[in-house]
Structure 1
Amino acid sequence: MALVTDKKESLKIFEKVAADNMSVGIFCTASHWNTEAILIAAQRIAEKYGYDNVPVVVASTFTYQHMPQAKRFLYCQDPVAGIISNLRHLDALTNGKYAPYKNVTVLPHLDHADPFRDHWALTVGSQYFSSVMFDAQCYEYEKNLEMTTDYIKYFGKDVLVEGIIEMLNVENGATARHIDNYCEKAVEYVGKTGIDFLVADLGTEQQTSAVGGAKYNKKRARQLTEALGKKMLVLHGTSSLTEDQTKGLAEDGVIRVNMWTRIAREAGQFAAHNLVNRMDKIDAGDFNSAEANAYINDNISKAADIMFEMMELFGYGNWKG
């Protein structure tokens, strides 16, 4: 397929997702090899179920203080060049006669974009994305509401927008700041801002070092979905959940599931262990053992395996396209 950045086309995909009782994976990336791993996982889903197209959201932060992924694509650490290079990479891999992942529909996403620090990405750069997370969580509720509403006024006609009203937990970083009458505030926030998706605090922890260290708040997810009247929740911190906690998210109204930390960590561990096991050959000067391709390919294969498993848990087997 190709990259989808048109808002109307993106909305149609998510309408189908909601109807098919599945959640779309928002898989973050900070490297070209991790990007390909996402496509490998989605292509495997397509081949397993005989799909012509499989939707997946490929996301990166810009200068997010806890993990500036766009800066990590390239040695020069230029976030603009990083984002653009990754999008061109995605286009080459999914679109055209020679594309190896033709059955994957990519919806590019800008994650955790601060209204001021990431101004370029949210304004000029918005043309490159299907969706953006307008991340005003660190501001007081009224200021958040004002800024998010203003952003959607000027850019909401062209790009899907995720909004957030509560500070989320980040391991060794931010601590969640809870709002009283959360469901009531969420309904007000969605109604006044016009956001397309709500990043909800459902008990998870971002950038966690361990799986199973958080408890997913299913009750809150269902209460929010009922109050909002439609499936529009986004879950962050999925790396902190066990597989059992991750099953059936779509039934709770979670339509987008954001994940990166566990994938990057475990893929890196797998590749590093294999590298250590090659040390004798590396020290002996064996080219294929020493050259970076072996480490990168090990990383890709493990990351793709994890994401394929997660897509199964997200309900991709229900996709009717």
Structure 2
Amino acid sequence: MPVVSSHDLFSQAMAEKRSIAAFNVITLEHAEGIVAGAEEAKLPVILQLSENAIRYHGSPTAIARATAAVAVSSSVDVALHLDHITDVAIMHLAPELDFSSVMFDASRYDYADNVELTRQAVRWGARNGIWIEAELGEVGGKDGAHAPGVRTDPQEAAEFVRATGVDALAVAVGSSHAMTSKDASLDHALISVLQEALDVPLVLHGSSGVPDEEITQAASEGMVKINIGTALNVAYSGAIRSFLQVDDVSVDPRSFLRVGRDAIAEAVARYLKVVAGR
């Protein structure tokens, strides 16, 4: 079916008071596994490409077009999103690549510059039909907004949203990128305060490190977009590692990549049900 727009997916989710899970694509097998998992769960999903993943493939068009092709083949609603984009030139490719939303990341700049650069991204997005997500401070894997103990200030967040006109905001409530253990503790009281203070969807980055029951709770408290990446890589690499430990003579990559892809599909179906509270 045709790829759906992020705007439509989020408008529907907010009207129905539910959350959408967004999964990071690195390889073609990621995209295929994510869609297979969404079809198994019979739930909509977001496929997102980070700037790091795009640069890994050397061309912003190759993996993006492959991901879009997988999305079109899906029997469930799929939206396409560019994640943690710092390069404006890559952001500007979104319309021609059929990506309808971008997480524009100017968090490495000070507050004033972040506001101005994000405002420019939002203006460009409005002209081109692209939904823009942004963030305050640095997120995940770095000593920034999603480092342990760091929290988004509701008043500052509300002012940032007003000043930029951004469509969604990634907030720091206790999660962190690249976690392989599920022991992050979310600040649920803060999520509720942020949900009341802001009139745009809240986004949770670093959800792989969050226990399932906390993800479900965060979704019920108003966290609209739930980003998951590392957990898929753990499933993918773990399945391939196990396969090759048993079969140490296979040389056809399809034999073990299929196993990895299936592990991604299983993880995605499970996470989608967690986010949906099933």
Q: What TM-score comes out, normalization by structure 1 length?
A: 0.79
CA distance in 2, matches of 1:290, 1:215: 42
CA distance in 1, matches of 2:176, 2:119: 27
Tell me by how many angstroms 1:168 deviates. 2.0
Name which of 263, 267, 278 aligns with 1:306. Answer: 267
Show structure 1 runs of 5+ residues with no match.
47-53, 63-67, 95-100, 283-288
Name which of 94, 113, 123 aligns with 1:125. Answer: 94
Name which of 176, 181, 196 aligns with 1:226. Answer: 196
Name which of 162, 186, 209 aligns with 1:240. Answer: 209
Residue 180 to residue 300, structure 1, CA distance change in 2 (3 Å)? closer
Tell me by how many angstroms 1:266 deviates. 2.3
Name which of 31, 38, 41 aligns with 2:37. Answer: 41
1:78 corresponds to 2:49: no
CA distance in 1, matches of 2:139, 2:67: 27
Tell me by how many angstroms 1:187 deviates. 0.8
Alignment map for 1:285-300 (pairs within 5 Å): 289-300=250-261
CA distance in 2, matches of 1:40, 1:181: 35
CA distance in 2, matches of 1:79, 1:61: 10
Structure 1 contact 166–200 (Cα < 8 Å) conserved: no
Matched position secondary structure for 2:258: helix
Matched position secondary structure for 1:148: helix
Residue 134 to residue 126, structure 1, CA distance change in 2 (3 Å)? farther
1:105 corresponds to 2:72: no
Tell me by how many angstroms 1:291 deviates. 1.3
Residue 276 to residue 37, structure 1, CA distance change in 2 (3 Å)? same
CA distance in 1, matches of 2:14, 2:152: 26
CA distance in 2, matches of 1:302, 1:220: 34
Give the residue type in structure 1 aligned to 2:9.
I
Tell me by how many angstroms 1:218 deviates. 1.1
Structure 1 contact 29–69 (Cα < 8 Å) conserved: yes
Tell me by how many angstroms 1:70 deviates. 1.6
1:57 corresponds to 2:46: yes
1:259 corresponds to 2:246: no
CA distance in 1, matches of 2:121, 2:35: 31
Structure 1 contact 138–167 (Cα < 8 Å) conserved: yes
Residue 133 to residue 302, structure 1, CA distance change in 2 (3 Å)? same
Residue 303 to residue 257, structure 1, CA distance change in 2 (3 Å)? same
Query: Matched residue pairs, number?
Result: 274
1:64-89 residue CA offsets vs partner (Å, 9 max, x unmatched): xxxx11234x4xx3233332333234
Matched position secondary structure for 1:79: coil
Structure 1 equivalent of residue 25 of structure 2: 29
Tell me by how many angstroms 1:273 deviates. 0.8
Moved over 3 A (4+): 124-127, 173-181
Show structure 2 runs of 5+ residues with no match.
none
Structure 1 contact 23–249 (Cα < 8 Å) conserved: no
Tell me by how many angstroms 1:231 deviates. 5.8
Alignment map for 1:144-159 (pairs within 5 Å): 144-157=114-127, 158-159=129-130
CA distance in 2, matches of 1:79, 1:15: 28
Residue 80 to residue 26, structure 1, CA distance change in 2 (3 Å)? same
CA distance in 2, matches of 1:89, 1:165: 32
Tell me by how many angstroms 1:19 deviates. 2.8
Q: What TM-score comes out, normalization by structure 2 length?
A: 0.91
CA distance in 2, matches of 1:32, 1:181: 34
